[in-house]
């Protein structure tokens, strides 16, 4: 009898293959004494191992090829850690003080670093603990001259089951035979999830203790579209999923064909598709015909990669490069959204019981005016290179909007008085993430040029569910009627007020949501670049009248499952009609 396990979908797709466990934890690390006259040589052995580990990481980067900046940045961060003078100094100090071998000294330092990171209640900082652990494993492997195994040398396809898929594991498995990845730890934004998505491998995370119970060698179905793992499936279930895989494969060619086409519905209604990006490399990899502009540039990632706050000139150069590369298309820059799960290592914020609902976003930057002023000046100056929209994150009150607007207007005035060029297309907007702020949408429209709705956080707050908590993540369901009705109210009000409003986040990039969103009235969608072609195909497969009829029907439904079934039936029917045509 098929056994179904719920998980967190991290990288989309479906896979059917035998399960193979990759056991990486608990590797033996030797400990032995070092004589005084051998301490220098032992420190040198450690330094050589660090150099070799950095070279191995560079080779893994090459293996990924033209991946997104967020993916390659993982390896850059590991290389920086491997070559970090502080890490090397701490380990060498341990070798000399304890008079022990490099492997044992390294293990002690890594354990200490991990304990510090794990005490901080932040998803991103806890991810740094995994970075440190992985780097420690890599250097230890070089010290012990362990050859990298390659799981999958038998040439058979498999679904990989592992506690956490770390960046160095890319060199330990033959990825061309990995059909899916099942992780016990991590969230949908963990490094393992990001790597899986970049490789196009379906992945689910958060199985925790269930992982060890999975039978090795047995066939499983990984449904990373809906966050399910089916163990011991019967023939009928396998055949049903094989049909879904065939449908998906056939759609991929069609998706590729339409990627540069106009984003219009069958009846000619235009829909603006925008890209959410984190850095210049990610933007360079995009084909211009795929999108109309940048709906969200997350500026905090440029801050997180540094050891200190970037200066105004450094920020101006970065923002200008982005704007110039867009050739006249608008770029929406979200102002610094640190705090919560995105701390800066060089800027200490108080430890909070619930940081996601704490001192973050505009709440933080309005109190640290020097940080806010510096970034605003750089962004306003960059508007001389092309259209720029400035977006405020985590806004809760109208007072915050007014304060930020006053700062913007003062800086514009000061720059012009000093003879500094300010662009004519400079726009000011807010991100709607807080439900109470969304209920004041009419007043908000009087103060801004545009609005962006952060669907991820908004849905999370509406449902009172932490998406990255495996115990309740299954309750996070954007198909919940309350979430859908809330989104409909926002677009209805902004349309009446004639204020441009875009939907940003996972909902905007989910092709199944396209008919619903169009039926509600959404005409601007901003998403992770990988989803742009799929969403474009979805909207080119429907008419607005059909979408309005679908939303009218769904709006009266009272549970998420009924909504989901109706929408998926609509999508299947639409896809079938398109294929016949």
The CATH number covering residue 66 comes to 1.10.274.10
Residues in CB range of 44: below 8 A, 6 or more apart: none
Q: Among all chains, which residue has been given the structure tokens 């934890």? A: 25
Look at residue 295 in the predicted model and tell me its pLDDT. Answer: 96
Which structural domain, as residue segments, surrounds residue 199? 3-21+151-234
The whole-number average pLDDT for the span 70-93 is 83
Count of structural domains, the chain: 3
Same structural domain, 49 and 168? no
**For 182-220, how does the pLDDT look when each residue is reduced to its tens digit (9 = 90+)?**
998 777 667 778 788 778 899 998 887 788 788 888 899
On whether residue 334 sits in a domain, the answer given is: yes
Domain end point (choices 188, 215, 234): 234
On whether residue 274 sits in a domain, the answer given is: yes
Domain end point (choices 143, 171, 204): 143
pLDDT > 90 fraction of the chain, expressed in percent and rounded: 49
- Please report which confidence band the pLDDT of residue 351 belongs to, taking 50, 70 and 90 as the band edges: low
On whether residue 383 sits in a domain, the answer given is: yes
Same structural domain, 392 and 460? yes
In terms of Cβ atoms closer than 10 Å to its own Cβ (0-12, 13-18, 19+), residue 520 is buried
Count of other CB atoms within 10 angstroms of residue 192: 26
The CATH number covering residue 207 comes to 3.50.30.10
On whether residue 31 sits in a domain, the answer given is: no
Same structural domain, 442 and 474? yes
Closest CA relative to residue 456, chosen from 473, 439, 471, 441: 473
Q: Which is more confidently placed, 176 or 279? A: 176
Q: Which residues are catalytic?
A: 191, 504
On whether residue 327 sits in a domain, the answer given is: yes
- Please report which confidence band the pLDDT of residue 25 belongs to, taking 50, 70 and 90 as the band edges: very low
| pLDDT at 384 exceeding the cut of 80 | yes
Look at residue 189 in the predicted model and tell me its pLDDT. Answer: 60
* Cβ–Cβ under 8 Å, residues 135 and 81: yes
Sheet strand arrangement including 158-162: 3-6, 228-231, 219-223, 14-21, 158-162, 178-183, 203-205, 8-11
**For 455-497, how does the pLDDT look when each residue is reduced to its tens digit (9 = 90+)?**
988 998 999 887 656 567 667 788 999 999 999 999 999 999 9
Same structural domain, 188 and 326? no
Look at residue 173 in the predicted model and tell me its pLDDT. Answer: 76
On whether residue 339 sits in a domain, the answer given is: yes
Same structural domain, 364 and 479? yes
Q: Among all chains, which residue has been given the structure tokens 């959204």? A: 337
Q: The tokens of 438 are what? A: 């969304």
The whole-number average pLDDT for the span 325-354 is 74
Same structural domain, 192 and 74? no
On whether residue 306 sits in a domain, the answer given is: yes
- Residue 291 and residue 271: Cα distance in Å, rounded? 10
Stretch among 294-298, 336-340, 392-396 having the lowest mean pLDDT: 336-340
On whether residue 166 sits in a domain, the answer given is: yes
**For 239-295, how does the pLDDT look when each residue is reduced to its tens digit (9 = 90+)?**
989 988 887 777 777 888 888 889 999 999 999 999 998 777 667 667 888 899 999
* Cβ–Cβ under 8 Å, residues 344 and 319: no
Same structural domain, 122 and 60? yes
Same structural domain, 130 and 162? no
Same structural domain, 55 and 202? no
Same structural domain, 388 and 503? yes
Same structural domain, 191 and 271? no
User: In degrees, to the nearest 5, what angle opens at C-alpha 265 toward C-alphas 260 and 269?
Assistant: 105
Same structural domain, 444 and 509? yes
Across the chain, what does the average pLDDT equal? Answer: 85
Stretch among 69-83, 229-243, 427-441, 530-544 having the lowest mean pLDDT: 69-83
* DSSP secondary structure letters along 199-258: HT--EEE--TTHHHHSPTT-EEEEETTTTEEEES--HHHHHHHHHHHHHHHHHHHHHHHH
Domain end point (choices 234, 249, 273): 234
Look at residue 306 in the predicted model and tell me its pLDDT. Answer: 63
């Amino acid at each position: 009898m098929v056994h179904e396990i719920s998980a967190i979908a991290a990288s989309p797709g479906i896979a059917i293959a035998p399960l193979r466990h990759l056991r990486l934890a608990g590797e033996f690390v030797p400990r032995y004494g070092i004589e005084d006259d051998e301490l220098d040589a032992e420190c040198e052995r450690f330094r050589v191992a660090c150099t070799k580990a950095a070279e191995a990481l560079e080779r893994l980067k090459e293996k990924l090829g033209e991946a997104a900046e967020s993916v390659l940045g993982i390896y850059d961060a590991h290389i920086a850690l491997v070559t970090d003078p502080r890490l090397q100094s701490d380990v060498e100090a341990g070798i000399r003080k304890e008079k022990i071998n490099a492997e044992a000294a390294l293990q002690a330092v890594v354990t200490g670093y991990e304990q510090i990171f794990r005490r901080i209640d932040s998803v991103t900082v806890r991810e740094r603990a995994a970075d440190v652990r992985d780097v420690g494993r890599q250097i230890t492997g070089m010290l012990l001259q362990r050859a990298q195994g390659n799981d999958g040398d038998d040439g058979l396809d498999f679904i990989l089951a592992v506690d956490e898929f770390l960046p160095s594991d890319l060199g330990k498995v033959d990825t061309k035979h990995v059909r899916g990845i099942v992780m016990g730890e991590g969230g949908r934004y963990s490094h393992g999830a990001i790597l899986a998505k970049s490789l196009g491998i379906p992945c689910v995370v958060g199985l925790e203790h269930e992982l060890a119970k999975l039978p090795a060698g047995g066939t499983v179905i990984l449904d990373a579209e809906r966050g399910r793992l089916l163990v011991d499936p019967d023939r009928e279930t396998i055949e049903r999923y094989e049909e879904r895989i065939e449908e998906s494969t056939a759609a991929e060619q069609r998706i590729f064909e339409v990627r540069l086409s106009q984003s219009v519905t069958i009846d000619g209604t235009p829909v603006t598709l925008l890209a959410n990006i984190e850095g210049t490399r990610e933007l360079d990899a995009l084909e211009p015909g795929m999108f109309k502009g940048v709906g969200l540039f997350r500026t905090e990632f440029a801050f997180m990669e540094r050891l200190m706050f970037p200066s105004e000139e450094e920020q101006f150069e970065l923002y200008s490069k982005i704007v110039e590369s867009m050739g006249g298309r608008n770029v929406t820059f979200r102002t610094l959204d640190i705090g919560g799960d995105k701390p800066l290592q060089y800027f200490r914020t108080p430890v909070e019981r619930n940081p996601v609902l704490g001192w973050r976003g505009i709440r933080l930057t309005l109190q640290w005016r020097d940080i806010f002023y510096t970034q605003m000046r750089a962004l306003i100056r960059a508007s001389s290179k092309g259209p720029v929209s400035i977006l405020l994150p985590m806004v809760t009150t109208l007072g915050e909007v007014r304060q930020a607007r006053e700062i913007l207007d003062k800086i514009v005035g000061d720059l012009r008085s000093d003879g500094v060029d300010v662009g004519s297309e400079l726009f000011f907007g807010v991100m709607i993430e807080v439900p109470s702020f969304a209920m004041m949408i009419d007043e908000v429209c009087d103060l801004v040029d545009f609005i962006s709705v952060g669907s991820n956080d908004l849905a999370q707050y509406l449902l009172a569910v932490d998406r990255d908590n495996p115990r309740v993540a299954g309750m996070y369901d954007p198909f919940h009627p309350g979430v859908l009705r809330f989104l409909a109210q926002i677009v209805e009000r902004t349309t009446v007020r004639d204020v441009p409003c875009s939907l940003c986040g996972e909902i905007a990039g989910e092709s199944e949501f396209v008919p619903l969103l169009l039926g509600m009235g959404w005409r601007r969608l901003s998403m992770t670049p990988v989803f742009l072609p799929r969403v474009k195909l979805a909207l080119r497969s429907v008419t607005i009248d059909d979408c309005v009829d679908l939303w009218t029907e769904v709006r009266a439904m009272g549970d998420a499952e009924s909504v989901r079934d109706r929408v998926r039936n609509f999508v299947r029917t639409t896809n079938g009609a398109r294929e016949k045509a």
